[in-house]
Structure 1
C-alpha cells in the first residue's frame, strides 16, 4: 500500500489535496489507521487521476461527486464545462488582442504637426454610438461615458480601437461647440458587435482634419483653423464634427491628450 505522500507524488499532486478530497468525500483512502494515517491502493491511482483531470477542466467537487454517485450523467456536466472553457478562451483571446494593440501603439512614436489642417482620404469605419447628449458639462460627459461603457464588455475601454465623439457642429461655427449635441463613439469591426447599441458608419472619403490638443483651448483653436482652411480652399464640409482620440489613455472628459478634428468634405 501507499502512504499519502507516496500517492501524492505518484499522481503529481499534493498531500494537502488528498486530505482535502478525503474530507470532502471525493477520494478516500483505502485504509486509515487508528492514529489517522491514510493508506492507498495502487489501483486507486486511476480514479485519482480522473478526478484531477475533471478538476483541471473546471468541474466542481460537487459535480464530480454527482458523477461518481451516478446521480448526474457525465455528458451534460462535461458540456457545461466545455461551454465554460469556451467562454474563458474567448476572454483570453480578447485580452491578448488588447495587449497586442497596446504594444503596437506604443511602438508608434511619430505625430502630426499641431493645428495645421490637411485634406486626407480616409477608410470607412464603424462605431458603437451612445445616445445623444446636449449638455457638454463635465458631469454630463461623465454620466454618458459611464452609461455607454457599461453597455459594453469591460475590455472595450482598454482596447485601442478608435474612440471619440460625433458632434452636430458646422465648420463655420466654432463658437457653437460648447452648446452642440454630441454622441460618444467607439470603433468596432462588427464581428462582436452588441445588438443593444446602435451602429454608426463613418464613410470613406475625403476629410479635412487637424491634429489638436484635447483641451478647451486646443479644440477651439483647431476648429478656428479648420474654418479658415475651408474658407481659403473653398471646401464644402458636412455639418458633423468627428472628434477622434489618439490612443486609449483618457485624460479628461473621455478624451485623450491629442486627437483629430475631422469633417467630411465634398
Structure 2
C-alpha cells in the first residue's frame, strides 16, 4: 500500500492547485509530512482529513489565520462559537452588499433620468414627502466660510447616506425666486435620507420637503442660466394661475461623476405651488 502522496496527487484529490498547497506549506497552515531528498513534498493519506477541514472552513470564508487556530482547537464548543461569529460577520457583509446594491439601483435610476431629461418642458405634478439632512445656511458659494460649512456638513453625514445614489440638493428661501440674481441668495445644502434613518441625525438637521403639488423643470449650468430659467418659471406660473407656496428645492442630477465640466451640471428645480385664488386683474 502506498504510504505517501505527491503534491500533485494531493492537489488532485482536493481539487486545488499545487501552488495553493505550496502556499499553505509556506505559511505553516498545511505542511507535508516529509520533504524528499529531491526536495519534493510528500503527504500522508491521513492528511486528507485535515485538508478537508481546511477546505470546509475556507468555503465558509473563514480567514486563513483563523483556520490555523481552528485546527488547534477542534472541539464542539470552540467550533460552534467560531461558526456563530463567522455568521455574524457574513450577516454584516450581506447588509453592506444590500446597501451597495440599493445605491447602485439609485444611481442607475438617476442616470437613466439624465438620459431622458428635457430642458424645455416644465411639469406640474404631485410629489410625495421626502426627508433631507440640511447644512447650516451658506451665504456665499465662493466665500471661504462656505467651504468650512460644507466640510462640517459632509463629515456629519453617514457615508451610506452621502453616497446613496440620490442627487444632493439645495434649498433656497421662496422669496429669492423673485429677486434679480437668484444664484446669490443664501441656501442650505441637502442630502436625502429614508425615513427609517431619521433617528441617526439631530432633529434640527432634518428638513421635510412637504407632500404637495410642484412645478418643476430641468436646467443646465445653473450659474449662467438660473435667471433665464426663473423667468420661464414665472411666466409658467402666471399663465397657469399658480402662486409660489414655500421654499425652492434644487436637485443636482448630473455632477462630476458623469462629467468633468461644471457647465454640464443638470439641476431639477421644484417649486411648491397652489392655485391662485386672487381675482384676475
Q: 2:102 aligns with which of 97, 103, 107?
A: 97
TM-score by length of structure 2 reads: 0.76
Distance 2:7 2:186 in 1: 71
Distance 2:248 2:259 in 1: 20
Structure 1 ranges of 4+ moved more than 6 A: 252-256
Distance 2:198 2:57 in 1: 34
Q: Please give the root-mean-square deviation of Cα atoms over the aligned residues, in Å.
A: 3.4
How far off its partner does 1:44 sit? 1.5
Distance 1:209 1:19, change over 3 A: closer
Q: Which runs of 5+ in 1 are unaligned?
A: none
Structure 2 partner of 1:245: 252
Residue 181 of structure 2 corresponds to residue 173 of structure 1: no
Structure 2 partner of 1:30: 33
Distance 1:147 1:7, change over 3 A: farther
Residues 39-118 of structure 1 correspond to what in structure 2 (within 5 A)?
Answer: 39-70=42-73, 73-108=78-113, 109-114=115-120, 117-118=122-123
Distance 1:188 1:117, change over 3 A: same
Structure 2 partner of 1:187: 192
The more displaced of 136-145 and 173-182 is 136-145
How far off its partner does 1:170 sit? 1.1
* DSSP-derived class of the 1:242 partner: strand
User: For the Cα contact (< 8 Å) 1:22–1:28, is it kept in 2?
Assistant: yes
User: For the Cα contact (< 8 Å) 2:252–2:266, is it kept in 1?
Assistant: yes
Aligned residue pair count: 265
Distance 2:15 2:160 in 1: 36
User: For the Cα contact (< 8 Å) 2:176–2:182, is it kept in 1?
Assistant: no
Distance 1:146 1:45, change over 3 A: farther
User: For the Cα contact (< 8 Å) 1:138–1:253, is it kept in 2?
Assistant: no
Distance 2:251 2:245 in 1: 16
Distance 1:145 1:67, change over 3 A: same
